[in-house]
Amino acid sequence: MLRLVVVCSALVSSAFAGAFTDMNCTNGDSTTPKFVATATICEDKYATATCAQLFGTAVVAEGTTDRDAKCNTDANGISEDVKQLAISTCPKSCGYCCESAEYKCANKQCEIHIHTFSRHCPPRRVSRIFI
């Protein structure tokens, strides 16, 4: 009976291995999620070692492994407060650069020169905004 429980647990774990808990800064594909390039384009406010201690393993640019649970969960599950803390302190480590104030394209004003704007936003978003 114990073997059956262990096998079932292993199957359930592997079935959810590719699932991301938060699709922000990803390609949006729930079947094969991957972080977009802008997820890790910024710098953390604190040293890499500090961010690793606070939020665990850092996100890999364009990686397919979900961000560490410490980036957006607390003892009660998904936490918007923890996520906002990660965005404001260690956005690169948690793969939230596209959500940070400096890089969130929705926050950019139209009067900004395109060369400045495009440095922070993916080209297709820049062209959509200026067309």
Residue type, 79: S
**What pLDDT sits at residue 101?**
86
**What pLDDT sits at residue 103?**
80
C-alpha dist (Å) from residue 113 to 62, 65, 106: 27, 35, 15
**What pLDDT sits at residue 122?**
54
Rounded to an integer, the average pLDDT of 65-94 is 97
Q: Which residues contact 50 (CB under 8 A, 6 or more apart)?
A: 90
Domain boundaries, the chain: 18-100, 104-131
